[in-house]
């Protein structure tokens, strides 16, 4: 165990993760023993991101789905950021559960994930790297809460004051993970809110199916691989992609793929879609995720499912009767060019970073204006941590409340729908349980 102290108060302990540009450690606040996470990045990094990311954590501090940043400081050889310690990622839990999650678990996740992405968008940024690794569960009393992390690739999509959208642009390099990237992003179009939402859909299907049709594509180079992934995504219809799963996923993909470049996604509509599916399936919202045992504890190894899940792989895009042949790249660009004409005369906002060709927008005028050490003030609450402590050790005022205080609905507002039997499910669906969490009545 290291004896290193970061920022005077944070004891650096064991390494718990690493990436291309930074290393993540578990640590402890020596003042009160609170467990925290410490992210370290070399000062001579080729692509420094931690200073920028720390500013976004400060900007996003109003959300209970973004971990609190306690400190950012420049050490002798590294940049250091201290944030709340969270639990495993959805990718970790997906692997723990045998690389496939049940429909119930995914539907319980959709609402919180949409909320998290919507919050980022309302702050005039897009995440730009939506994937299971960047959604984490909480610890202790917050173990049912979904958090969104890793804003190193996030970009501004509009001016925060005037809300003027950045101009439509083609020929840009891909930012993000190709497996979950949108069709437009793979085609080199500047990303906007619609791309985050399309990526969310691919994440849910990955968790449900256990894989995606374009995984495992081999190519001679990166450009060819991106092109092949794009053609695979564009050549498969939502009906084929979501075959065997709730029809709401088909509706979701049809909607987000038809969004215009600067159009606001229909967040409330998407939430309601999946809430309706949850009720129709007769599920009870008990936070009994696949990775928890009967006592609500994390399972230590994969366990057999209570019910089998039959997944029919979509037919080959080239033989799809619903969607026709796979469009060529030229055909895709013709479609893109038609959309581009809409934005030729639109007044545009271009930040200083965009004029200089920078891929990283700033929240301050320059790095020299930012203090080398600063703390994020997000709450008057002193003990708002997610350290895995028992409920008795956490003040009730500091526990994240999922149910809105201004809720005024009732279960009578829900209309009963005919029983729906999912395709190829061999077991009898349970009756609709009207014990629905109150937050589901709000948009």
Could you list the active site residues?
Answer: 129
CB-based contacts of 97, cutoff 8 Å, min separation 6:
290, 291, 299, 302
Helix (H, G, I), strand (E, B) or coil at 237: coil
H or E stretch including 26? strand 23-29
Q: Which two tokens stand for residue 411?
A: 């279960």
Length of the chain: 443
Query: Are 81 and 374 a contacting pair, CB within 8 Å?
Result: no
Which segments of 216-366 are extended strands (E)?
none
CB-based contacts of 392, cutoff 8 Å, min separation 6:
none
Q: How far apart are CA 265 and CA 256, in angstroms?
A: 7
If you count DSSP H runs as helices and E runs as strands, how many of each does the chain have, helices first? 11, 10
H or E stretch including 28? strand 23-29
Query: Are 65 and 117 a contacting pair, CB within 8 Å?
Result: no
H or E stretch including 14? strand 10-18
Query: Are 211 and 165 a contacting pair, CB within 8 Å?
Result: no
Query: Are 48 and 61 a contacting pair, CB within 8 Å?
Result: no
Q: Is 76 exposed, middle or buried (0-12, 13-18, 19+ CB in 10 A)?
A: exposed
Q: How far apart are CA 107 and CA 90, in angstroms?
A: 14
Q: Which two tokens stand for residue 22?
A: 């930074």
Q: Is 39 annotated as a binding residue?
A: yes
Q: How far apart are CA 237 and CA 322, in angstroms?
A: 7
Q: Which two tokens stand for residue 194?
A: 């619609």
Query: Are 265 and 194 a contacting pair, CB within 8 Å?
Result: yes
Q: Give helix 267-280 / helix 247-257 axis angle, nearest 10°.
A: 170
Q: Which residues are annotated as a binding site for ATP?
A: 39
Q: Which residues are annotated as a binding site?
A: 39
């Amino acid at each position: 165990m290291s004896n290193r102290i970061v920022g005077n108060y944070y004891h650096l302990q064991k390494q718990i993760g690493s990436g291309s540009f930074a290393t993540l450690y578990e640590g402890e606040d020596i003042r009160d023993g609170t467990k925290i996470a410490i992210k370290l990045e070399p000062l001579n990094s080729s692509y420094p991101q931690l200073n920028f990311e720390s500013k976004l954590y400060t900007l996003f501090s109003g959300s209970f789905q973004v971990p609190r940043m306690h400190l950012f400081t420049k050490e002798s050889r590294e940049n250091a950021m201290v944030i709340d310690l969270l639990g495993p990622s959805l990718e970790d839990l997906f692997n723990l559960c045998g690389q496939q999650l049940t429909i119930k678990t995914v539907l319980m996740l959709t609402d919180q994930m949409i909320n998290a992405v919507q919050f980022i968008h309302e702050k005039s940024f897009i995440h730009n790297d939506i994937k299971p690794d960047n959604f984490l569960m909480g610890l202790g009393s917050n173990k049912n809460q979904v958090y969104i992390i890793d804003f190193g690739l996030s970009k501004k999509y509009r001016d925060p004051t005037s809300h003027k959208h950045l101009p439509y642009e083609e020929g840009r390099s891909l930012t993000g993970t190709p497996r979950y990237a949108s069709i437009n992003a793979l085609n080199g179009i500047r990303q906007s809110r619609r791309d985050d939402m399309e990526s969310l859909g691919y994440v849910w299907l990955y968790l449900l199916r256990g894989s995606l049709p374009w995984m495992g594509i081999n190519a001679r180079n990166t450009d060819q691989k991106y092109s092949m992934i794009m053609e695979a995504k564009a050549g498969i219809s939502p009906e084929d992609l979501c075959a065997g799963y709730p029809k709401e996923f088909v509706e979701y993909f049809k909607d987000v793929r038809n969004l215009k470049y600067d159009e606001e996604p229909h967040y409330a509509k998407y939430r309601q879609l999946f809430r309706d599916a949850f009720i129709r399936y007769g599920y009870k919202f008990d936070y009994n995720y696949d990775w928890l045992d009967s006592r609500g504890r994390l399972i230590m190894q994969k366990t057999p499912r209570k019910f089998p899940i039959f997944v029919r792989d979509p037919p080959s895009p080239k033989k799809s009767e619903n969607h026709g042949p796979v469009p060529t790249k030229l055909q895709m660009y013709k479609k893109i060019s038609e959309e581009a004409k809409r934005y030729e005369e639109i007044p545009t906002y271009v930040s200083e970073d965009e004029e200089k060709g920078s891929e990283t927008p700033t929240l301050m005028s320059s790095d020299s204006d930012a203090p080398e050490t600063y703390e994020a003030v997000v709450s008057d609450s002193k003990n708002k941590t997610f350290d895995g402590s028992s409920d008795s050790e956490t003040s009730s005022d500091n526990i994240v409340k999922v149910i809105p205080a201004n809720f005024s609905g009732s279960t009578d507002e829900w209309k009963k729908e005919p029983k729906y039997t999912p395709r190829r499910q061999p077991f009898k669906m349970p009756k609709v349980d009207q014990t629905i969490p109150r937050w589901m009545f709000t948009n």
